[in-house]
Amino acid sequence: MTDMAELPPEPQGWLPDRELAHVRGNLPMLYVNAVPVRINPRGEVTHVGLLLRADEGMITRAIVAGRVMYHETVRDALIRNLEKDLGQIALPQVPLSPTPFTIAEYFPTRGVTAFHDSRQHAVALAYVVPVEGTCEPSQNALDIVWLTPEEAASDDVAQEMSGGQHLVVRQALAHVGALPA
């Protein structure tokens, strides 16, 4: 039996901004990326949900993304970030065994990979998540727009996304067999 004194202390949650900046400058951070989708009764993707965000004076499109907290399961991180960005009644259908369809490595230096995040080196586990409920974007998301797979994979939408997230959308659509020809 484990002595209570041997257990690690309970996690405190987020780091203060100064400590977070230090950690981001020295270690890769673990993230989840989620591509919210609507599906028909046959399980085919009919729409892709992209967030509208205000980022440095520009309106951009984005997928759901967020850090995995210390002592948090990947499944719980997915649910927390989906609810944070899409609202409490979005009803995301996270798989019982969350295996990512891809892993995106975001680097602060452009050109190392197709993914870029000026703040940090981040490793993001990416998922396609069906959403059944009503989405009411919150936090720094202004709205969610539901696009057909063709629209979501278009070059026009890619130009409105940053950091290579348009590639995650295209990989997600290819993974579920919905990438337009």
Q: Is there a domain that residue 181 lies in? A: no
Number of domains in the chain: 1
Q: Mind listing the pLDDT tens digit for each residue in 18-59?
A: 887 787 777 889 999 999 999 999 999 999 999 999 877 888
Give the pLDDT score at 81: 95
Q: Is there a domain that residue 8 lies in? A: no
Q: Is there a domain that residue 138 lies in? A: yes
C-alpha–C-alpha distance, residues 127 and 130, integer Å: 10
Q: Is there a domain that residue 7 lies in? A: no
Q: Is there a domain that residue 118 lies in? A: yes
Residues of the chain with pLDDT under 70: 1-14, 181
Q: Is there a domain that residue 4 lies in? A: no
* Ordered alpha helix ranges (H), 25-127: 74-86
**pTM of the predicted structure, to 2 decimals:** 0.87
The whole domain housing 166 covers 20-175
Q: Mind listing the pLDDT tens digit for each residue in 17-28?
A: 888 778 777 788
CATH number of the CATH domain containing 127: 3.90.79.10
Identify any residues that bridge with 34 across adjacent strands, giving them in sequence order. 64, 127
- Contact 81/95 with Cβ under 8 angstroms? no
